[in-house]
């Protein structure tokens, strides 16, 4: 089973921005809701944002008004634009369907220095 391929992470200062990208593997239905998740060093994986196939987006409260999820349907890529980053956003970020129905990729690490 193919995995999602996440990229775009890095080290950024608090207040900075990053854009994460996720290549959606073949076999994921076009009608699937896609989302981003994250896992901090001492926490369980948590949901961050979702985007339906009709482009309705939802966010966890902690990232609302700072993060934006979007998709390029032609390229089958999902993005997460992260602005005004905070140290508590430090985590490994993953994408998958919502609810989770596929294998996670390796994720992409985001480190926000304070």
CA distance 43 to 65: 23
pLDDT value at residue 74: 84
Give me the percent of the chain exceeding a pLDDT of 70: 99
* For residues 13-24, average pLDDT: 97
Looking at every residue in the chain, the average pLDDT score rounds to 95
**pLDDT class of 17 with cuts at 50, 70, 90:** very high
CB atoms within 10 A of CB 23: 17
- pLDDT (tens digit per residue) in 35-80: 999 999 878 999 999 999 999 999 999 999 999 999 998 889 999 9
Integer CA distances (angstroms), 88 to 30, 35, 67, in order? 33, 19, 14
pLDDT value at residue 77: 95
Q: Which residue has the higher pLDDT, 3 or 34?
A: 34
Question: What are the φ and ψ backbone dihedral angles of 63, each rounded to 5 degrees?
Answer: -115, -5
Can you tell me whether residue 33 is helix, strand or coil?
Answer: coil
Question: What are the φ and ψ backbone dihedral angles of 88, each rounded to 5 degrees?
Answer: -70, -5
CA distance 51 to 28: 14
pLDDT above 90: residue 114: no
Report long-range pairs for 66-72 (Cβ below 8 Å, ≥24 apart): 69/34, 69/35, 69/36, 71/34
């Amino acid at each position: 089973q193919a995995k999602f391929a996440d990229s775009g992470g890095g080290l950024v200062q608090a207040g900075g921005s990053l854009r994460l990208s996720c290549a959606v593997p073949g076999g994921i239905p076009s009608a699937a809701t896609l989302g981003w998740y994250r896992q901090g060093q001492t926490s369980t994986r948590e949901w961050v944002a979702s985007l339906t196939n009709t482009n309705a987006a939802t966010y966890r409260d902690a990232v609302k008004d700072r993060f934006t999820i979007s998709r390029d349907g032609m390229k089958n890529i999902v993005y997460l634009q992260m602005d005004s980053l905070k140290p508590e956003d430090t985590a490994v970020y993953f994408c998958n369907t919502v609810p989770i129905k596929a294998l996670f990729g390796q994720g992409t690490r985001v480190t926000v220095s304070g």
